[in-house]
Chains A and B, each alone.
Chain A
């Protein structure tokens, strides 16, 4: 027997685990509401802020460099 076969056989003996039906329904209802909506906007805010900050630093650096050279 391979390791996979051994582990299949052993894992079948693990106790069955499930959510209670109320929690399952709550999760399903919450997720169903979001079908096809795409990732929430709040997940985009942090990368946009980070990009703006990086651009600001870059612009400041370029201005300082021009001042030094000029």
Chain B
């Protein structure tokens, strides 16, 4: 836990809105990046981001002094993604199959890619099963330790490491010629 994070947690525990603003500024991109890559819809990601930070605000004065804010926020975001996914599955069952995206239609994330390699990478992450994509994002992009991710997801560290290994294998296969050179030889 770094000094900034400790100061934000102390401030939040006192109900200090400046501490909330600092934490929001520090984590909003990271949490939003995780959310949009999990739900793949901008409007839903924004709603879930709002809910994540609403819960931080509502729980602010009851946070433990040693709360690791990043892990706390990703735990809430993960639970919201799980709830949303369940609701989506029920809705899909009730409504029948929705029309699939056409092959040349780009998602909002793919539209951000400024090279073929980035596009291939974004698509490779999107093609991962959600359980593998989640650990790949939290460990790879967010730099969280597998033990921390295990706590966030409620799994064992070993299960997280297995998912990481599978995510890496599937990414390498999906990326093909765009995979890093070291991956192609290993």
Does the CB pair A24–B28 fall under 8 Å? Answer: yes
Say yes or no: is A7 at the interface (Cβ < 8 Å to chain B): yes
Q: What's the least CB distance linking B33 to chain A, in Å?
A: 5
Given contacts A19-B28, A32-B57, contact A14 B121 (CB under 8 A): yes
**B-side contacts of A36, CB under 8 Å:** 15, 57-58, 60-61
Say yes or no: is B17 at the interface (Cβ < 8 Å to chain A): yes
CA distance A39 to B51 in the complex (A): 11
Using C-beta atoms within 8 Å of the partner chain, give the interface range for chain B.
35 or more
CA distance A13 to B165 in the complex (A): 19
Does the CB pair A18–B32 fall under 8 Å? Answer: yes
Does the CB pair B60–A3 fall under 8 Å? Answer: no
Q: What's the least CB distance linking A68 to chain B, in Å?
A: 40
Does the CB pair B46–A3 fall under 8 Å? Answer: no
Does the CB pair B112–A15 fall under 8 Å? Answer: yes
Say yes or no: is A34 at the interface (Cβ < 8 Å to chain B): yes
Report the interface size for chain A: residues with CB under 8 A from the other chain: 31
Does the CB pair A8–B143 fall under 8 Å? Answer: yes
Given contacts A7-B136, A10-B121, A11-B140, contact A38 B58 (CB under 8 A): yes
CA distance A32 to B148 in the complex (A): 27
Does the CB pair A32–B20 fall under 8 Å? Answer: yes
**A-side contacts of B58, CB under 8 Å:** 34-40
**A-side contacts of B57, CB under 8 Å:** 31-37
Does the CB pair A34–B54 fall under 8 Å? Answer: yes
Q: What's the least CB distance linking A34 to chain B, in Å?
A: 4
CA distance A40 to B17 in the complex (A): 19
CA distance A19 to B29 in the complex (A): 7
| Given pairs A1-B182, A24-B24, A35-B15, 19 additional interface contacts (CB within 8 A) | A3-B164, A3-B165, A3-B168, A4-B164, A6-B180, A6-B182, A8-B139, A14-B141, A15-B118, A18-B28, A18-B33, A23-B46, A28-B20, A28-B21, A28-B24, A30-B50, A32-B17, A32-B20, A35-B60
- Going nearest first, the 8 A-B pairs with the smallest beta carbon separation are A7-B140, A11-B140, A11-B141, A15-B112, A36-B15, A36-B61, A31-B53, A34-B57
